[in-house]
Amino acid sequence: MEAAPTEGERAAVDEVLGPPESGWSGGERTAVDARVARATPDRRHLLLPALHALQASAGWISEGGLNYVCERLPVPPAEAYGVATFYAMFSVESRPKMVVHVCDDIACRVGGAKDLIDALEGGAGPEGTSPTGASTWHRSPCLGMCERAPVAFLQQVDEVLAPAPSAPLVELINDRPASFDIDVPSSAPQTQDGRSDLHLLRRIGDVDPTSLEAYRASAGYEALARAIELGPQGVVQEITDAKLLGRGGAAFPMGVKWKAVAEQPVTPRYVIANADESEPGTFKDRVVMEQDPFALVEALTIAACATGSEQGFIYIRGEYPLATTRLEGAIAGARAAGLLGDDVMGAGFRFDIDLRRGAGAYICGEETSLFNSLEGKRGEPRNKPPFPVTHGLFGKPTAINNVETLINVLEVLRIGAAEYSRIGTPDSTGPRLFCLSGHVERPGVYEHEHGITLREVIDAAGGVRSSKPIKAVLLGGAAGGFVGPDELDIRMTFEDARAGGYTLGSGVVMVFDEDTDLVDICLRIARFFRDESCGQCVPCRVGTVRQEEALHRLVQGRTLGSREDEFALLGDVAQVMRDASICGLGQTAANAVQSAISKLGVFANGKGRR
């Protein structure tokens, strides 16, 4: 017989999926079941939520639990296993229930993670061991809390510690009483300065994020009211006139995207907020969702109004427990107030939002991977074309936008396209969020107008901590690139970036002072891409591994041929990944390393330049 679920697993899954329809879909066998079976309705898109439920209830995904989910959805067990093993937060082997994920990614690396990890290794044993069998710890890629490094994510209790104190963590992993008393600084320091000119951050720190009344009292839902007044075409026109470009990294014109979706004859159409913010060094969307969750709900509702969609999804990364809770509250609040549902705002259109959590996969931030993940498949990217505007989620027209982009829509409607387009430069309109981390005095999310220089961005965050000289700045995230201290006057606009061969990416500005070991940073970036490559296409699967290997050979002085040969090899690998990878992960996986080599001369000397 096949492995059966425990009562607890069964209950956890039923909580997500409802009770079984019949004996053929996991329920009790009845006399009718002996004579009739009906197809279990296809609900594969609920696979990820069901796996989350199993993981949370038992601390791992057992064969019996997986079988039960497969029976219920239904999904072939081999495919469900393929999905379960795709995500870092899921384990298909029994493991301690409490898993502490300790970020050792680049921002935390220069923000105390090494000391934290040393303390854990000393006090609780090496990564993956469990002193009592109840708890363990693992290194983790960026957890998106870079402004409060170092960071630890407690998976089972669904809580983030930032900054994570080492002593109580050691106690926790040893299964001894631990108390955490963390002093949390503001994640958006500008809001502490009494500024009234902020657009995207204006409610943060000021308006209760759990109260719809408070949100409405601060001009909340006025943008939706205006959108309803303008009508779908009017909204698209306004967005087009505002020249709003996507903030997720591709800088695609929003008006074009929404218009294309709205004009598809096919229904249903979907709108999605891409909140799978996983680019190392990026945390702006998290701060917005934690502190101003209604804004995202309202903005997605406007997207639905503009594109004629009745169903929206917010796909949020699994390591964002507070943002998840806040959004759940905001969605429920909006629903209760008639701002979601069958008759949104009494305007006669239907729209609702499903909040879905990712489970630890950087690749799922790529829009087509995100679709696959939502559909209950492995989060592997699809070939484009066809593009999401015609064949997106479930193969239907889909408008998928980054959180920051959507929040900008509110501003466009609030102040009007004309005024909005006066912010920034003619070709890079509007405000922009930057994620300041690393060696800056006041890390956090900052809002600036497009056109500000990098130096001004850094200065606005209090400059370099201890006023040390800057060695390098990582701009745009791990998929972005390094700029040197001689390049700090570059302007933060789309057009300058294009012309200058750099990228704003997701707004990451990670500052490294002169004491930073950039070799170590580059190795971590290379490891990140190797770990996060989904493995679907060869250039990326093989290229990310070869890149990391070559860097290690350079560091260890055990090169194949000369150092120049290794650099040539790295260049070739970079080119192949850029040219031939299916998605942006592979296409950008060599950017940071290549810029470090070419601009900063990292790895130039025998043991790397310290």
Interface residues toward another protein, by CB under 8 A:
1, 24, 29, 32, 34-39
User: Residue 385 CB, nearest distance to another protein (Å)?
Assistant: 22
Nearer to another protein, 34 or 184 (CB): 34
Nearer to another protein, 36 or 499 (CB): 36
- Cα angle value 225/228/232 (rounded, 5°): 145
Neighbours of 158 (CB within 10 A): 16
User: Residue 375 CB, nearest distance to another protein (Å)?
Assistant: 15
Nearer to another protein, 39 or 184 (CB): 39
Number of residues written out for the chain: 610
DSSP per position, 255-324:
HHHHHHHHT-S-S--EEEEEE---STT--HHHHHHHH-HHHHHHHHHHHHHHHT-SEEEEEE-TT-HHHH
Tokens coding 280: 């190392």
User: How far apart, in whole angstroms, are the C-alpha atoms of residue 54 and residue 312?
Assistant: 25
User: Residue 38 CB, nearest distance to another protein (Å)?
Assistant: 6
Task: Measure CA of the first residue to CA of the last residue in the chain; give whole Å.
Answer: 60
Nearer to another protein, 42 or 229 (CB): 42
* Phi and psi, residue 356, nearest 5°: -120, 135
Nearer to another protein, 23 or 416 (CB): 23
Nearer to another protein, 79 or 427 (CB): 79
User: How far apart, in whole angstroms, are the C-alpha atoms of residue 395 and residue 266?
Assistant: 10
Question: Cβ(321)–Cβ(158) under 8 Å?
Answer: yes
Nearer to another protein, 32 or 560 (CB): 32
User: Residue 76 CB, nearest distance to another protein (Å)?
Assistant: 10
User: Residue 74 CB, nearest distance to another protein (Å)?
Assistant: 8
User: Residue 40 CB, nearest distance to another protein (Å)?
Assistant: 10
| Letter string b/e over residues 270-287, b meaning 16 or more CB atoms within 10 A of that residue's CB | bbbbbbbbbbbbbbbbbb
User: Residue 35 CB, nearest distance to another protein (Å)?
Assistant: 4
User: How far apart, in whole angstroms, are the C-alpha atoms of residue 482 and residue 439?
Assistant: 15
Nearer to another protein, 32 or 604 (CB): 32
H-helix or E-strand spanning residue 240? helix 222-241
Q: Which residues contact 178 (CB under 8 A, 6 or more apart)?
A: 168, 169, 171, 172
Question: Cβ(427)–Cβ(270) under 8 Å?
Answer: no
User: Residue 99 CB, nearest distance to another protein (Å)?
Assistant: 34
